[in-house]
Structure 1
Amino acid sequence: MVEPTTYWFEIAKVFAGPVATVFAAAVAVFVTWRIGRQQLQLSRQQAEVARAQRDIAFDKLKHDLFEHRYAIYTAAETILKALIGVDRVCGITEIQVDANLRTLQEAVFFFPDETVAVFEEIKKRAIDLRFDTRNRDSEEVAATLRRLEEIYREFPAIMRPAMAFSQLTSS
């Protein structure tokens, strides 16, 4: 006859391998589940960081666009003031007018078409005035200056929609 302790010992030896395998599998499932949960949490945090970085990059893009638009706006305003004589104290030189005219050429990259049309008109009339060799008191020159004065008076209202920071988009 087999003693009871030996009997249980024999049964334990027979089932020790399968029980150890099941236990190891259960531990592996638990560890995998924990790692998976942590990975899910980490991926959610990464997605939130990516969204924040996207928003920051978009705001920087809008800021950069605003800076370019503002440079073009001030160039146009300087040209208008110089040509119609609003700001005679500024003493703008021909070289500065040329630089501002070159800046106006960049408007096509940063403004919608209807705003670019205004810049094109300013540029065209400025060039016409600068190279008009006729009498500065002629009716044609006077009409050009009146149109530039009109543009100058309307300029802030024309530019307001294009310069609103909240409305900045690439055109």
Structure 2
Amino acid sequence: MELRPRNGRRVVLFPLPFQGHQNPMLHLANILHFNGFSISVIHTHFNSPNPANHPHFSFHPIPDGLPLKSGDSLEDIVPLLSVLNQNCSGPFTSCLSEMLSDASTQPVACLITDVHWHVTQAAADGLEIPRIVLRTSSFTTFAVLAALPLLRQRVVTPFENLS
């Protein structure tokens, strides 16, 4: 297959710093690049992608405030997601704002973020760029999440009391 000509537009992606989230996001980036988009990837220092594996993309690291390094074990993911959202909100918005104000780069068509980066919606709204959310989990996860409200209504015992 032949690479399509550049269309003069750029897509900015912001994956979570976990392999099961980065890989699908970077696969999507490859598809978009093949279809003529320039790709910019904003990423945290923790578990950052290797730019040498994607030489046609531009990578923009932001501080995440985590004392962790790639390969460190993660005990509880939910508090970590909360801390990442809190710590990365300002740096993400600043980085995206700088990209938008850089006249030497192509205009941004949209922002694609992982579903767990909930703070990115406010940045996208404030900077007036469309945001697309990528959910990298399976359909089974989606079905369970969709069923939770019904389970909460029908279960007599609250979830926290279940053993």
TM value normalised by structure 1 = 0.27
Answer with 1 or 2: which has the greater Rg: 1
Q: Which has the higher helix share?
A: 1
The TM-score with structure 2 as length reference comes to: 0.28
Higher strand share: 2
Greater relative CO (CA pairs within 8 A, separation 6+): 1
